[in-house]
């Protein structure tokens, strides 16, 4: 990691993505100790997010898997992401007491993704019940 890194989204003393990403909460979702037995999973939270978004994209390719199963996996994944987003938002507000514009935007995107995945799951489930 580059110690002189400064995020482009830093907006001054009141909003610093740099301080958030460099904090202990910026890797392993703040719960995986890099020196612990699961340290090999202490990746940047941004990498977890990227993997999640790629995973959701793959699940939207219905030719790969049965439709209902992919929508169920997408729903469980989106729910997990929503829980992680709420957890990290609480940490951001109460522990770090920082404003990270990128973090807040990701939380909003994850909330919207959960809404759309839930709506799609209900549509697919209703079509299966009606068939």
Residue 84: per-residue pLDDT: 96
Please tell me the pTM assigned to this model: 0.86
Backbone angles phi, psi at 15, to 5 degrees: -145, 110
Residue 63: per-residue pLDDT: 67
> Contact, 98 vs 16, CB < 8 A?
yes
pLDDT digits (tens, 9 = 90+) for 25-68: 999 999 999 999 999 999 999 999 999 999 999 988 766 667 88
Instruction: Find all residues with CB under 8 Å of 36, minimum gap 6, and list them.
Output: none
pLDDT digits (tens, 9 = 90+) for 54-106: 999 998 876 666 788 889 999 999 999 999 999 999 999 999 999 999 999 99
Contacts 24+ apart (CB under 8 A), 18-25: 19/96, 19/98, 20/92, 20/96, 20/98, 20/100, 20/103, 21/45, 21/46, 21/100, 23/96, 25/88, 25/91, 25/92, 25/95, 25/96
């Amino acid at each position: 990691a580059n110690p002189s890194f400064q995020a482009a989204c830093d907006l001054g003393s009141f909003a610093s993505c740099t301080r958030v990403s460099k904090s202990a909460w910026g890797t392993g979702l703040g719960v995986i100790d890099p020196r612990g037995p699961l340290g090999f999973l202490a990746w940047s939270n941004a990498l977890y997010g990227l993997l999640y978004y790629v995973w959701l994209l793959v699940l939207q390719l219905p030719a790969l898997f049965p439709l209902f199963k992919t929508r169920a996996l997408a729903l469980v994944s989106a729910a997990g992401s929503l829980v992680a987003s709420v957890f990290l938002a609480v940490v951001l507000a109460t522990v770090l007491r920082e404003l990270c514009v990128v973090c807040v935007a990701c939380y909003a995107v994850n909330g919207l993704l959960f809404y759309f995945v839930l709506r799609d799951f209900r549509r697919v489930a209703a079509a299966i019940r009606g068939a």
